[in-house]
């Protein structure tokens, strides 16, 4: 065993060739008896170094034994003896010793400076910025982590925020969420927070939720946009949620009144149903969503305005939704000019908000305008980090993201709340075969198609009843209502097919009884299907009117 180096004893201190500072230190450690070798204190410190080492090893052994006894669960009465005694200053300790005073002051200074120092944080460096994506090296972060990148002095912001969207080898792909003008090559990249490993959800981004958000308009990060001051809530929730076991979901059993006659009567929607609103631009999607938000029987409305024109956000809130609608709504707005990452985040945040209210046992109506812009944002990100495009330029990840978002809505466990969702889907050039429309149609529980022909004829809401379907409807309504719906659809379809003949006067009545009745009732059918956007029609009224229409004499 190698003996520890011998400590200077009182006898050797002046003869060992120590520097003056080392001599001072050694003397200071001897206390007030430093200059009197005859006293016991001096004997104590001049103890042989090997003896002292043996004594210390003995103490360590005693502690280890005590810990082992603790772990084995039998502390016993000698437990207290095994514990190291609390520190007692030696009898010769003199706090007034000038050496100790000076060293203590020095140590205090070091401690104070330490307290001021910023914690050491590792940082990476920016190596590439091309298109939407930045690349950094020198950091090991999980996908979804947030980072800050330094901007040069004089920039409008001190830092730029970004999120890790992927990696390749040592390189991290970052997608900025704020303005990046001024970024320099080699800029430092700091992780915003490191996620604790013990709780996987603890590292997930959390945004504000809660009842204090009703009546408020916020951006994708939960910051108020309405100038009404801070949000009156201190609850937050992660953006992601664990999936619901499909067998634990309550089936769609109860009707949700949406306040629109044509939908209530002919395309009845149930609580927890997910519907698509398929239409080209300018056909009346936003107005229809606004009507539903104002007139629905749902207790809470969560509205996501994703990737639409910035001007429309204000217009939607003030003119379409109105004060009454807004009072029980939360609006999350991420217009087209914000980063694609924030547009996607706004969609997931809207869903998180709806989930919060559902988990409080409420029946929530979620309106998202639009699902297509959400898919487009994911396309932008995926293409920028090098995913190959597949159908119509959409990479495969887009078709995985859509069901992941939509499946979070719907009914919760039996007896709990529900999220009924309406997602608008843009059909480019009124093309129903668009890949996003196709994919959405497959994952949603029904679709309402808005027709440009009807809108152009001033028929609002421009719902194409023949092309629309609510898949949960048969489980929600009685036989009589179902038969009336069928009868009306039959008449409508017969009329549409023969429209040209009727218009040119080529149809002679008496040949087809259904068509004859359709022709006679058509003005009333049209009036039934149309609804001014300030007008509301509750479920019972809608069904009663349908009954009257079908039972009417011609």
Ligand X SMILES: Nc1ncnc2c1ncn2[C@@H]1O[C@H](COP(=O)(O)OP(=O)(O)OP(=O)(O)O)[C@@H](O)[C@H]1O
Sites of contact with Mg ion (CB under 5 A)? 285-286
Q: Shortest CA distance to 175 belongs to which of 145, 211, 151, 199?
A: 145
Point out the residue whose Cβ comes nearest to Mg ion.
Answer: 286
Q: Per CB under 6 A, which region of 219-227, 280-288, 394-402, 436-444 contacts ligand X?
A: 280-288
Contacts of 290 (CB under 8 A, 6+ apart): 316, 320, 321, 322, 325, 533
Query: Per rule CB under 6 A, is residue 459 in the interface with ligand X?
Result: no
- Rounded to the nearest angstrom, the gap between the alpha carbon of residue 437 and the centroid of all alpha carbons in its chain is 24
Decide whether 410 or 461 has the Cβ nearer to ligand X.
Answer: 461
Please select the residue that binds ligand X; options are 283, 332, 346, 421, rule is CB under 6 A: 283
Out of 97, 264, 286, 418, which residue is the one contacting ligand X (CB under 6 A)?
286
Which of 208, 259 has the CB closer to ligand X?
Answer: 259
Residue count (the chain): 554
Q: Scanning the structure block, which residue is given the tokens 């044509």?
A: 262
510 backbone φψ class: left, alpha, beta (φ>0; ψ -120 to 50): left
Q: Is 460 in the site for ligand X (CB under 6 A)?
A: yes
Which of the ranges 75-83, 249-257, 281-289, 372-380 carries the binding residues for ligand X, by CB under 6 A? 281-289
Question: In Å, what is the CA distance from 324 to each residue of 256, 257, 332?
Answer: 19, 17, 17
Contact 446, 469 (CB under 8 A): yes
Q: Give me Rg for the CA atoms of the chain.
A: 37
**For Mg ion, which is the closer residue by CB, 274 or 285?**
285
Return the one option of Mg ion, ligand X, none that residue 510 interacts with (CB less than 5 to 8 A, by type). Answer: none
Out of Mg ion, ligand X, none, what residue 351 binds, judged by CB under 5 to 8 A for its kind, is: none
Please provide the distance, in angstroms rounded to a whole number, between the alpha carbons at the two ends of the chain: 114
Instruction: Indicate which single residue of 10, 285, 379, 401 sits in contact with ligand X (rule: CB under 6 A).
Output: 285
546 binds ligand X (CB under 6 A): no
Read off the DSSP letter of residue 5. P
Q: How far is the CB of 303 from ligand X (least distance, A)?
A: 13
Question: Which part of the chain contacts ligand X (CB under 6 A), choosing from 176-184, 217-225, 282-290, 517-525?
Answer: 282-290
CB atoms closer than 10 angstroms to residue 167: 18
At 139 the three-state DSSP class reads coil
Question: Which of these ranges, 22-30, 71-79, 279-287, 292-300, lies near ligand X under the rule CB under 6 A?
Answer: 279-287
Residue 461's binding partner among ligand X, Mg ion, none (Cβ under 5 to 8 angstroms by kind) is ligand X
Q: Which residues of 64-88 are buried (b: 16+ CB within 10 A; e: fewer)?
A: eebeeeeeeeeeeeeeeebeeeeee
Kindly state the smallest distance separating residue 276's Cβ from ligand X, in Å: 13
In 3D, which of 403, 381, 399 has the Cα closest to residue 390?
Answer: 399
| Region of 55-63, 102-110, 277-285, 512-520 interacting with ligand X (CB under 6 A) | 277-285
As given in the structure block, the two tokens for residue 511 are 């040949």
533 binds ligand X (CB under 6 A): yes
Residue 352's SS3 state is: helix
DSSP state of 284: S
Q: Which is nearer to ligand X, 169 or 282 (by Cβ)?
A: 282
Please, what is the minimum distance in Å from the beta carbon of residue 290 to ligand X?
A: 8
Q: Which does 196 bind (CB under 5 to 8 A by kind): Mg ion, ligand X, none?
A: none
Q: In 3-state terms, what secondary structure has residue 444?
A: coil
Residue 28 vs 287, nearer CB to ligand X: 287
What is the spatial distance between Cα 182 and Cα 265, in angstroms, rounded to a whole number?
57
3-state secondary structure of 92: coil
Of 286 and 485, nearer to Mg ion (C-beta) is 286
Can you tell me the distance from the alpha carbon of 207 to that of 213, in angstroms, rounded to the nearest whole number? 12
* Chosen from Mg ion, ligand X, none, partner binding at 464 (C-beta under 5 to 8 Å by type): none
State the number of binding residues for ligand X (CB under 6 A): 13
Nearest C-alpha neighbor of 419 from the set 516, 528, 300: 300
Is 319 one of the binding residues for ligand X (CB under 6 A)? no
CB of 421 to ligand X, least distance (A): 17
Q: In the complex with ligand X, which residue's Cβ is closer, 367 or 477?
A: 367
Q: Could you give the CA distance from residue 10 to residue 44 in angstroms, rounded to a whole number? A: 10
Q: Of 53, 204, 244, 287, which lies in the binding site for ligand X, with binding defined by CB under 6 A? A: 287
C-alpha 268/C-alpha 278 separation (Å) is 17
Residue 63 CB partners (closer than 8 Å, separation 6+): 82, 83, 84
Please report whether residue 335 would count as binding ligand X according to CB under 6 A.
Answer: no
Closer residue to ligand X in complex, CB, 50/281: 281
Q: Which does 284 bind (CB under 5 to 8 A by kind): Mg ion, ligand X, none?
A: ligand X
DSSP letter assigned to residue 57: H
CB of 338 to ligand X, least distance (A): 17
Q: In the set 50, 64, 194, 281, which binds ligand X (CB under 6 A)?
A: 281
Applying CB under 6 A, which of residues 119, 154, 246, 282 lies at the interface with ligand X?
282
Distance, in Å, from the CA atom of 62 to the CA atom of 83, rounded to the nearest integer, reads 8
Decide if residue 31 touches ligand X (CB under 6 A).
no
| Residue 323 Cβ vs ligand X, minimum distance, rounded to whole Å | 19
Nearest CB to Mg ion, comparing residues 286 and 409: 286
CA atoms of 370 and 424, how far apart (whole Å): 5
Nearest distance from C-beta of residue 372 to Mg ion, angstroms: 11
Considering beta carbons, is residue 172 or 288 the nearer one to ligand X?
Answer: 288
Query: Which residues of the chain form contacts with ligand X (CB under 6 A)?
Result: 279, 281-287, 308, 460-461, 532-533
């Amino acid at each position: 065993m190698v003996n520890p180096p011998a400590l200077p004893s009182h006898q050797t201190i002046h003869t060992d060739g120590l520097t003056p500072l080392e001599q001072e230190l050694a003397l200071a450690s001897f206390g007030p008896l430093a200059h009197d070798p005859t006293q016991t204190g001096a004997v104590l410190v001049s103890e042989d170094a090997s003896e002292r080492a043996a004594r210390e090893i003995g103490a360590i052994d005693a502690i280890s034994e005590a810990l082992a006894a603790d772990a084995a669960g039998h502390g016993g009465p000698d437990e207290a003896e095994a514990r190291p005694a609390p520190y007692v200053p030696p009898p010769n300790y003199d706090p007034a010793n000038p050496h100790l005073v000076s060293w203590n002051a020095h140590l205090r200074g070091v401690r104070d400076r330490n307290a001021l120092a910023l914690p050491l944080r590792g940082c990476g460096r920016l190596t590439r910025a091309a298109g939407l994506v930045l690349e950094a090296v020198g950091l090991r972060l999980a996908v979804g982590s947030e980072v800050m990148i330094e901007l040069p002095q004089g920039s409008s912001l001190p830092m730029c925020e970004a999120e890790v969207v992927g990696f390749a080898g040592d390189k991290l792909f970052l997608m900025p969420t704020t303005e990046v003008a001024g970024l320099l090559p080699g800029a430092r990249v700091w992780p915003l927070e490191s996620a604790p490993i013990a709780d996987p959800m603890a590292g997930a981004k959390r945004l504000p939720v809660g009842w204090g958000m009703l009546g408020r308009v916020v951006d994708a990060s939960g910051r108020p946009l309405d100038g009404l001051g801070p949000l009156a809530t201190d609850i937050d929730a992660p953006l992601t949620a664990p999936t619901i076991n499909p067998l634990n979901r309550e089936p769609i059993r109860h009707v949700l009144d949406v306040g629109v006659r044509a939908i209530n009567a002919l395309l009845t929607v149930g609580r927890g149903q997910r519907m698509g609103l398929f239409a080209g631009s300018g056909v009346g999607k936003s107005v229809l969503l606004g009507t539903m938000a104002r007139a629905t029987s749902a207790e809470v409305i969560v509205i996501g305005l994703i990737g639409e024109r910035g001007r429309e956000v204000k217009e939607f809130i003030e003119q379409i939704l109105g004060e009454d609608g807004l009072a029980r709504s939360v609006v999350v707005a991420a217009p087209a000019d914000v980063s694609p990452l924030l547009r996607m985040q706004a969609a997931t945040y809207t869903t998180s908000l709806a989930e919060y209210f559902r988990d409080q046992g409420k029946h929530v109506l979620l309106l998202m305008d639009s699902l297509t812009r959400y898919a487009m944002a994911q396309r932008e990100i995926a293409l920028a980090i090098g995913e190959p495009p597949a159908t119509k330029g959409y990479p495969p990840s887009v078709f995985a993201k859509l069901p992941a978002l939509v499946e979070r809505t719907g009914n919760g466990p039996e007896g709990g709340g529900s999220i009924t969702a309406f997602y608008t889907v843009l059909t480019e050039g009124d093309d129903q075969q668009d890949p996003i429309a196709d994919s959405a149609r497959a994952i949603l529980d029904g679709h309402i198609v808005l027709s440009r022909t009807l809108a152009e004829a001033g028929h609002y809401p421009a719902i194409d009843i023949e092309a629309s379907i609510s898949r949960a409807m048969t489980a929600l309504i009685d036989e009589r209502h179902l038969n009336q719906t069928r009868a009306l659809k039959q008449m409508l379809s017969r009329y549409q097919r023969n429209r040209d003949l009727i218009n040119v006067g080529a149809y002679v009545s008496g040949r087809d009884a259904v068509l004859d009745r359709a022709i006679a009732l058509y003005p009333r059918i049209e009036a039934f299907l149309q609804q001014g956007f300030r007008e509301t029609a509750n479920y019972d009224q809608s069904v009663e009117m349908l009954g009257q229409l079908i039972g009417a004499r011609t």
